[in-house]
Amino acid sequence: MNALVHAPFLIIETGQPVPSMRRYGRFPHWVRVAAGLQADEAIVANVEQGDPLPEPVGFAGVIVTGSGAMVTDRAEWSERSAQWLGTAAHAGLPVLGICYGHQLLAHALGGEVGDNPAGREMGTVTIRLNPQASQDPLFSRLPDTFAAQATHLQTVRRAPEGATVLADSAQDDCHAFRWGNSAWGVQFHPEFAAHHMRGYVHARRDALRGEGLCPRTLAKNVTAAPQARTLLRRFTRHARQLQRR
């Protein structure tokens, strides 16, 4: 049992924070801190920079980071990672995809990813749980609505066959899904604290203005999102429980 309890999590790094936010470290650091994992409890594979992915065995679970890339570009590293994720999910390895990772997991399992018809979603948004979430291991104890940080242009336009859509927002019909018993995708960023979100709004200010959005208002409306942030710890606890069975 000790080998399972201490099995590390694999963090698949698919991109870097915007330059102004790199003083806070890379995405795997943000994820690890929010998940409550010690440094020796996580192994990072930077697939965007060409790191190979290990065999999907011997891990407690897998977390896939966000990225500024687009799944629809079908980059070699992205497609290679999607193939790996599909294999891992079918094998029952616990997986959590965040933002780009959410979209990549959906793509890997046969879903459809594309530009969000509602346009860019950015800032602190309200996540609304679907009734099916009341039976979900990660979402069942969350309130019906809660705040979360989001920044994305693309979305899961069609969830994989057999997936359960767990949550939406005013601008996105698939903010979270579960496939099978141990694979989840979330469009929002549970690893983002309020200062991360404000930094992203500031970094995207020119694009936001060009799209008719007010970065100052978006930044002012950023709030803490403690319920969303608990999702990473819920995932790591649940993944460890699955590995003990």
Residue 147 CB-half CA count within 13 A: 12
Give dist(CA 149, CA 205) in Å, integer.
16
191 classed as catalytic: yes
174 classed as catalytic: no
Torsion of CA 118, 122, 126, 129, to 10 degrees: 60
Q: Which residues, in sequence order, are CB contacts of 104 under 8 Å at separation 6+?
A: 14, 64, 71, 78, 81, 82, 85, 97, 113
Give dist(CA 76, CA 64) in Å, integer.
16
Two structure tokens written together for 192:
């983002």
Q: Please say whether the beta carbons of 242 and 182 come within 8 A.
A: yes
107 classed as catalytic: no
CA R_g for the chain: 17
Name the one residue in this structure whose structure tokens are 């927002």: 169
**Other beta carbons within 10 Å of 50:** 10
Question: Which listed residue (99, 121, 152, 174) is catalytic?
Answer: 99
Question: Which listed residue (107, 175, 191, 238) is catalytic?
Answer: 191
Two structure tokens written together for 110:
């046969």
Name the one residue in this structure whose structure tokens are 């009734």: 131
Provide the CA 231 distance to its chain's centre, in angstroms: 10
Question: Which listed residue (102, 175, 189, 238) is catalytic?
Answer: 189
Catalytic residue IDs: 99, 189, 191
